[in-house]
Amino acid sequence: MTSVLDDVPKSYWTKRRRIVKSVNKVMEETSDLDVGHDEGLTITEMVGIDATRPGNNAAADASRSLISLECDSASASSGSELSVDSDMCDHIPDFDDGEHISDTSSLSSDLSDEWDLADQLSNWVLTYNICKDAVTALLHMLHVHLPGLPLDARTLLKTPDSSNYKIKTITGGSYYHFGVASGLKKLYDDGFVANSTASDTRLLELQVNVDGLPIYKSTNYQLWPILGMVVNVRDKVPFVIGLFGGQTKPGSISEYLCAFVDECRGLEETGILLGFDVYGFRIHSILCDAPARAFVRKTKGHTGYYGCDRCVQSGKWLSKMTFPEVAAPKRTHVDFCSKVD
């Protein structure tokens, strides 16, 4: 019998085809024997590696450990026993019943065309919350037989590499800028339809929302997302422009909004190229609740004595802040810029 390890092909798919071929060959050779599921068909037999060959002791050991590995890694104690754990079998698709084993032609097409072990393993790890160290160890064992599989749990699970993200440290926490342009491009890729009633369909009007949200009861850690939504298209889908996380709210509003403001300025000046068209861009509105509005504008909070947005008057405290004067002078742009009260 020819071992698949004798001649390692360059391509992973070629390798897989060879494995399938070897499996078929083994199946033909052993078709007279009544090898049932209950007798414990080993992985090595399935992939056509002759575990009895002297050179393949390591492979045989590896497969033995693999098969006796319990689903729950904490209770894995049967290291030396050669037993097929029925749960484990359930999580190895296409190897779990005699139907696939006996039907070699369907096994062949399944393996070469559809079956993606890495994806299946990845789902299994996430479903049963398998410890990542255990997954890495398992992958090292499987790698002997299936070199196309990754060696590390992080690669298998496609864990994002945090070094790829330019997370900025700003006062109070960290900030990541997803970007307005990338949100608009995604909107375009998803096939947005300009609202036919809009006067200028080549103009994208962005509504912005800034708010803080606590995410745990036990700590003060909070997220401050900057969200955007184009209002003059038919399917309005909000997207994240930037995200701040920290133990307090952003310590400096300038640092927090810096990337967003810079990008919006650029987009307003030059527009944005989507497909073959340049679209104009402008901020439609900024929506915030009262505390976030005061924070973004760096004004007094809504519970402060001069907390009214609309007029200049000192409030009265009647177990909560009230503003009883109805004819107080209105606030003006000049007042705002010169930070009057």
Asked if residue 232 lies in contact with residue 194, where contact means CB atoms within 8 angstroms, the answer is yes
Answer for which of 310, 320, 333, 339 binds Zn ion (CB under 5 A) is 310
Task: State how far the Cα of 269 lies from the Cα of 261, in Å rounded to an integer.
Answer: 12
Q: How far is the CB of 254 from Zn ion (least distance, A)?
A: 27
* Residue 212 or 307 with smaller CB distance to Zn ion: 307
* Residue 57 or 332 with smaller CB distance to Zn ion: 332
Answer for which of 66, 117, 208, 308 binds Zn ion (CB under 5 A) is 308
Q: How far is the CB of 310 from Zn ion (least distance, A)?
A: 4
Output the CA angle 204-298-285, nearest 5 degrees: 20
Is 130 among the residues that bind Zn ion (CB under 5 A)? no
**Which phi and psi (to 5°) does residue 278 adopt?**
-95, 125
Task: State how far the Cα of 48 lies from the Cα of 319, in Å rounded to an integer.
Answer: 81
* Residue 222 or 313 with smaller CB distance to Zn ion: 313
Q: How far is the CB of 325 from Zn ion (least distance, A)?
A: 7
Helix intervals (H) in 111-150: 117-127, 132-143
Is 311 among the residues that bind Zn ion (CB under 5 A)? yes
Inter-CA distances, 149 with 118, 160, 236, Å: 6, 18, 41
Q: How far is the CB of 258 from Zn ion (least distance, A)?
A: 31
* Residue 116 or 309 with smaller CB distance to Zn ion: 309
* Residue 109 or 322 with smaller CB distance to Zn ion: 322
Asked if residue 306 lies in contact with residue 229, where contact means CB atoms within 8 angstroms, the answer is no
Is 324 among the residues that bind Zn ion (CB under 5 A)? no
Which parts of this chain interact with Zn ion (CB under 5 A)? 308, 310-311, 323
